[in-house]
Amino acid sequence: MSSIASPRPYPDPTRRRLLSALAVAAAAVPLTASCGRALGGGAERTGTLRYQGWTGQVILPELAADLGYLGEVKLEWIGNTISGPQDVQSAATGQVAFGGAFNGASVKLQESGAPLTSVIGYYGTDRKTYNGFFVLDGSPIRGPRDLIGKKVGMNTLGGHAQAVLDLYLRRNGVAPADVRKVEALAVPPVSLEQALRQGQIDVAALSGIFQDKALAAGGVRAVFSDYDFLGPFTAGSYVFRDDFIERNPDTVRAFTAGVARAIEWTRTAPRAEVIARQTRILTARGRNENADALKYWKSLGVAGRGGLMSDREFSVWSRWLKDVGQIREVGVPPRDLYTNEFNPYANGGVPR
């Protein structure tokens, strides 16, 4: 892992090439009052952040709010997202103030001209928490070539799991034509284990509490994981639109600081306390969810202290996007994709 870089203070939005059609259309649509008005409508700061949650999970901003780390910043839940790429696209179009996704998905949007900047990492891979590709104990699948022609279920297409799968196959000498024969299927995370056990898919990409739940039930084994060949790294980050950051730097700073503190709280608090707190949050919010999976929580897997990010956590996916033809060239350098400027842990600092 390269050392944590702190790129120039918040990147100037003029660094972007001409905005993609998506971003242009988004800018033309007035943002909701909770997100602040569009630049053409006059500057307006906000302390309320609209966001999307995840069914059966407590996301870091929700934890930070419950811990009292967000200060005067308020969260307004507008519903649940179906995937990380959908979440950051909602941020790009102004439907929500921030979104979180696998860094590769954010890079793809940013390379297309979407005016987004990552401000803090929120999940990743370590010895405790990783994205594993699991099969049933009796499966003949043992290595990369065994995956050719097989169905691999994952939470979303174009996200972390698909990128890791593709990278694993390519790094192990599987020809591009054969890589295309590996069928990636989008399956809701809560249904992946069941789909595997019922034979609807040959492999399930499982992570976090869903992986631990499957392992606890037994009868499955891992073929490989992202930790096996990439080591520890922060895999996903929260993004804001550039114009939102310009209008609301104090809000973004408070949000980032609060999430950073929550990350460190999960590292130092007893595991049982972290699980109990998340369970209480999920139960109290009354969204008709099952909290059983939370008992398998182990860690966030975030590599950098307080969610600090590094060039490597973006450049590896920029190169991959080019290699697989999803972008023609790497046009945006890592220093313009993210910033640690709002993180209180940058340059050896600590929250006040």
Q: What confidence tens digit (pLDDT) does each residue in 270-282 have?
A: 999 999 999 999 9
Higher-scoring residue by pLDDT: 227, 19: 227
Asked whether this chain's domains 48-126+232-336 and 131-230 adopt the same fold, the reply is yes
C-alpha distances in Å from residue 105, one per residue of 83, 101, 127, 146: 10, 7, 24, 27
Mean pLDDT of 52-65: 95
Residue 36 zone, left/alpha/beta (φ > 0; ψ -120 to 50; rest) = left
Provide the pLDDT confidence category of residue 88 given band limits of 50, 70 and 90: very high
Higher-scoring residue by pLDDT: 24, 348: 348
Q: For residues 202 and 223, what is the distance between their CA atoms, to the nearest angstrom? A: 11
Helix (H) or strand (E) holding 320: helix 312-323
Helix (H) or strand (E) holding 184: strand 183-186
HEC secondary structure over 71-89? CCCEEEEEEECCCHHHHHH
**pTM to 2 decimals?**
0.81
Higher-scoring residue by pLDDT: 173, 189: 173
Task: Specify the range with the lowest mean pLDDT, choosing from 46-55, 121-130, 321-330.
Answer: 321-330
Mean pLDDT of 175-199: 95
Mean pLDDT of 38-51: 66
Given a cut of 70, is residue 181 above it in pLDDT? Answer: yes
The model's pLDDT over 156-169, given as tens digits with 9 standing for 90+, comes to: 888 889 999 999 99
pLDDT of residue 348: 85
Provide the pLDDT confidence category of residue 44 given band limits of 50, 70 and 90: low
Q: Where are the domains of the chain?
A: 48-126+232-336, 131-230
> Residue 119 burial by CB count (10 A; 0-12/13-18/19+): exposed, middle or buried?
buried
| Domain topology for 48-126+232-336 | D-Maltodextrin-Binding Protein; domain 2 (3.40.190)
C-alpha distances in Å from residue 276, one per residue of 263, 264, 281: 16, 17, 9
Given a cut of 60, is residue 216 above it in pLDDT? Answer: yes
pLDDT of residue 351: 74
Which homologous superfamily does the CATH classification assign to the domain defined by 131-230? Periplasmic binding protein-like II (3.40.190.10)
pLDDT of residue 341: 96
Given a cut of 80, is residue 16 above it in pLDDT? Answer: no
Q: Are 58 and 246 in contact (CB under 8 A)?
A: no
pLDDT of residue 29: 35
Q: pLDDT averaged over the chain? A: 87
Phi/psi at 221 (5° precision):
-145, 155
Provide the pLDDT confidence category of residue 33 given band limits of 50, 70 and 90: very low
Q: Identity (one letter) of the amino acid at 90?
A: S
Provide the pLDDT confidence category of residue 28 given band limits of 50, 70 and 90: very low
Write the DSSP symbol of residue 309: -
Provide the pLDDT confidence category of residue 11 given band limits of 50, 70 and 90: low
Q: For residues 159 and 176, what is the distance between their CA atoms, to the nearest angstrom? A: 19
Rounded to a whole number of angstroms, the CA Rg of the chain reads: 20
Task: Specify the range with the lowest mean pLDDT, choosing from 26-30, 180-184, 252-256, 275-279.
Answer: 26-30
